[in-house]
Amino acid sequence: MSLSRRSVLGVAAGAPLLTTSLSFRKARAQAQNTIRIGVLNDQSGVYRDLSGPGSTHCARYAVRESGITQAGVNVEVIEADHQNRPDVGSTVMRQWMDRDGVDVILDVPTSSVALAANTLVRERNKVFLCSGAATSDLTGPACSPNTIHWTYDTWMLANSTARAMVAAGGQTWFFVTADYAFGHALERDTTAFITAAGGRVLGSVRHPFPNTDFSSFLLQAQASRAQVIGLANAGADTTNAIKQAAEFGITRRGQRIAGLLVFITDVDALGIETAQGLVLSETFYWDLNDRTRAFTRNLGTMPGNIRPSMVQAGCYSAVLHYLKAVREMGVAAAKANGAEVVARMKAMPTDDQAFGQGSIRADGRKLHPAYLFQVKTPQESSGRWDYYRLLGETPADRAFRPMAEGGCALVRS
């Protein structure tokens, strides 16, 4: 056999690297009057449908709605795949900001990549509008004058979902946690709520990210005899775990599953038969009110013909508000100083079709209400995407962690 084993393995190990796809265009000459927004997210993996090309679609829609092009400002929206890996994401961002003149990094799901973006953007004094990532550290220890955390975070999820679960009698918990920054933050924030409400955490197990087979972890959760199994993961990891929990009869034996982060695209992937009854929290639902319905209609056909997730709606909302600030400051000033733009954004109230009226706090936290939903039964649902029934609303001033508790250096002095 002439084939060397080492060459096979070399290619096997290098395989993920080859898939790196960078879809940026070269900077053009008229750079001075052009704002460049780089949408960095998962274009090929488990978080693609909830962010991915849909986020770019929403960002481009925000540019159109802002009318800034008619005012003589060029806005370019480009996108790239970070493959949920901080190293890949950092390489793209350095090229974007150092070579291609990108002014804003947008979206960035996967908390480990978002934390890298947070640092890189601050070093270069650009703007980071984070919609996709969850870790509440972005407005806590890692807060930055160049970052706004837009759509949701781990504290808000715990505050909404875990509080409701404990109130409904779920006193003992076991976590199945994605083993990276996001999972750890979600587990930590949820644990704080459970213990504060008098509940107990019996244990947790950390699974590799991404992961396909959850049966082993679920069996450990089952053996713990906890009343609630908290899934501190997201995307296809969550849907696989929920699907397999049903298969192993975990819910039939009296344990409840708490999907701590479930997106509408996940509910669609599970199918309403499997997902019915699931309690979850989001800050945006396309069928929430007249404005969100109008927003969804105006978006036109989304890539993959899905309804927008809260992450994608957040990209729209963030870009719209950013462009308002740019318009006030002028393009040259906005390009020169990212922190200045962010300060201007914080000073103005927000208002858009997806999230309604809101504001941005000094620590970079965007404030809007959080909604507790339950997935409808197949009988209640009128068809695909008619998935949620509203259970409750946490008003904007109580939906997110109080500024004093976050430990953000920007607000301490």
Partner 1 sequence: MDMIFGVPAPLLFGQLVLGLINGAFYAMLSLGLAVIFGLLNIINFTHGAQFMMGAFVAWMLLTYLGIGYWWALLIAPVVVGLSGIVIERLFISRLYKLDHLYGLLLTFGLGLIIEGTFRNLYGSSGLPYRIPPELTGAWDLGFMFLPVYRGWVVIVALLVCLATWLVIEKTPLGATLRAATENAALVQAFGINVPRLVTLTYGAGVGLAALAGVLAAPIYSVNPQMGANFIITVFAVVVIGGMGSILGSIVTGFVLGVVEGLTRVFYPELSSTVVFIIMAIVLLTRPAGLFGRA
Query: d(Cα 205, Cα 216) in Å, to the nearest integer?
Result: 10
Q: Which of 17, 19, 22, 169 binds partner 1 (CB under 8 A)?
A: 19
DSSP string, 186-246: HHHHHHHHHHHTT-EEEEEEEE-SS-S--HHHHHHHHHTT-SEEEEE--THHHHHHHHHHH
Instruction: Please report, to the nearest 10 degrees, the dihedral formed by the alpha carbons of residues 134, 135, 137, 142 taken in order.
Output: -80
Cβ distance 73 to 96 under 8 Å?
A: no
Q: Which is nearer to partner 1, 14 or 300 (CB)?
A: 14
Query: Does residue 86 contact residue 113 with C-beta atoms inside 8 Å?
Result: yes
Instruction: Give the Cα separation of 228 and 220 in Å (integer).
Output: 13
User: Does 18 sit near partner 1 (CB under 8 A)?
Assistant: yes
How much is the CA Rg of the chain, to the nearest whole Å? 21
216 binds partner 1 (CB under 8 A): yes
Which listed residue (133, 306, 311, 408) binds partner 1 by CB under 8 A?
A: 306
Q: Which stretch binds partner 1 (CB under 8 A): 151-159, 254-262, 266-274, 283-291?
A: 266-274
Nearer to partner 1, 304 or 395 (CB): 304
DSSP single-letter state for residue 10: H
**H or E stretch including 112?**
helix 111-124
With CB under 8 A as the contact rule, the residue among 27, 192, 197, 219 that binds partner 1 is 219
SS3 271: coil
Phi and psi at 290, nearest 5°, equal: -60, -40
Residues 380, 65: Cα–Cα separation, whole Å: 35
| Closest separation in Å from C-beta 211 to partner 1 | 7
When binding is defined by CB under 8 A, the residue of 66, 211, 296, 350 that contacts partner 1 is: 211
**Residue 95, interface with partner 1 (CB under 8 A)?**
no
Q: Specify the stretch interacting with partner 1 by CB under 8 A; choose among 44-52, 58-66, 111-119, 188-196.
A: 44-52
Residue 15 or 167 with smaller CB distance to partner 1: 15
- The residues near 56 (Cβ < 8 Å, ≥ 6 apart) are 39, 77, 79, 315
256 sits near partner 1 (criterion: CB under 8 A): no
**In the chain, what is the straight-line distance between the N-terminal and C-terminal CA atoms, in Å?**
69
Q: Which is nearer to partner 1, 123 or 213 (CB)?
A: 213
Among residues 192, 248, 359, 410, the one that binds partner 1 under rule CB under 8 A:
248
Stretch that binds partner 1, among 101-109, 127-135, 265-273, 320-328 (CB under 8 A): 265-273
Which chain residues interact with partner 1 by CB under 8 A? 1-3, 5, 7-9, 11-12, 15, 18-19, 42, 44-50, 52, 179, 205-208, 210-213, 215-217, 219-220, 222-223, 235-236, 239-240, 243-244, 247-249, 253, 265-266, 268-271, 273-274, 304, 306
